[in-house]
Every structure is written in structure tokens, then in C-alpha cells.
Amino acid sequence: MNAVKIAEIFERLKQARPHPTTELEYRTPFELLVAVILSAQATDKSVNKATQVLYRHANTPQAILALGVDGLSQYIRTIGLFNTKAKNVIETCRLLIERHGGEVPESREALEALPGVGRKTANVILNTAFGHPTIAVDTHIFRVSNRTGIAKGKDVRAVEERLNKVVPEQYKQDAHHWLILHGRYVCLARKPGCPECLIADLCEFKEKTKKEVPQTAAAKKQSIRRKIAQLGRKQSRRSGSR
């Protein structure tokens, strides 16, 4: 995909959502860090439901560390892999206190040294909490980037590197959010919503979906009659074979 198309895609996404952000609920960099760790293989909705209660009781490294693994698990048990995540969050809290004075570090290396924090999570924190123009690539962004032709790659790191090369500088800060929201609500995995897509004419996906024509009342009745007739014929054949 050429640079003109890519720039137009991000301009349209910007016009549609001028101020995109994560759907995880947080008030501090630490709350965001915990939420992102918990969001692995889980929905933002399920994480928000758990953290709304958790953060009312404990929302600092010191307070969550005091809960211990068992105590934290009680707040997040509705989230997938909660046992492993609870261990990672508790260890992360301990390291934040010991190494960073209880603050979330603004360094990729320091972030990736924390349990449960990989490159994608570090990119999210650097971008959303600290304003760095990093691009975190999750399954949605990987799919959208490859499907549209914006940035093709065999793995998430390749897509991230390609996006960093092709996304114009003025769009990099919000590119991650635009792409993830587009993948979550429009460019769906099983059936992309091409008829409602605002970048469909620029997208290079060859198998675009078409708008479904709703059945009229008469067509629905005819379809029901056919199904009843087919059922009747099947029953007749079964009766004849006895």
C-alpha cells in the first residue's frame, strides 16, 4: 500500500475519532499497568468489572502487595488465568516498590523486566500513560494491518516494525488506538463489516463483504413454506421405509 493511501486512512480514522484512547478504565499509570496485565486473553469489559471493585480497596503497589496472591485472586477470579495473573501482579508490585520507589517506570527495558509485561504491554504503557508514539500490536491490530495492506507481516513484531515505518509521524501517537478500535468494532475477525467501513475504498482486502439485503415479509413466509414442505417430504420418506 502506498503512502498516500495510508495517510488518507489515518486521516479518516482521526476524523471519526479525534481523541481515541484505551477502553480499560484507569486513573494512574499503575492502575493502567495492572489492567493491561489482567487483560491478556480477556476482554476489557471483564477487566473493568473486576478493577472497579479492586481499585476501591487497593490501587497502589503497596496496597495490592498487602493483599497477597490469595487476596488479589478474590477480586480477579472472574478473569481468565486469574491465578497466574495474580502472581504476576503481586511480584510486579514488589519490584516496583524495591526498584522504582513504587512508581511505574517510563522505560521499555524496566517495564519489560516486570512479570507479565511483554513488549506489547510496555508499548501500551509508554503510549497511553506517558505519551510516547509507540504502537502496540495485538491480535486486532495484527489482523487489520495485514488484511487492509497497511502493514503486512508474519508476526506481531514484523507488523509493529512496518507500522513504525509507514505511519506518518502526526498519526503515530493515536495509531494503536484507531487500529484496535477499528478491528474490535468494524474489521471483525470472522466477518469484516466492509459495507459500514469508512476506509473500504482504500483497503486492499480482496474478499470484501457485501451488505446483506433483508428479507421481505413475503420472502420470509415463502422460506418457511419451503422448509415445512421439505420437512413433510422427509417424514413421508421415513414412513414409507418402515
Residues with catalytic function = 120, 138
Q: If you count DSSP H runs as helices and E runs as strands, how many of each does the chain have, helices first?
A: 11, 0
Take residue 239 and report the three cell numbers written for it.
414412513
Task: Indicate the SS3 state at residue 131.
Answer: coil
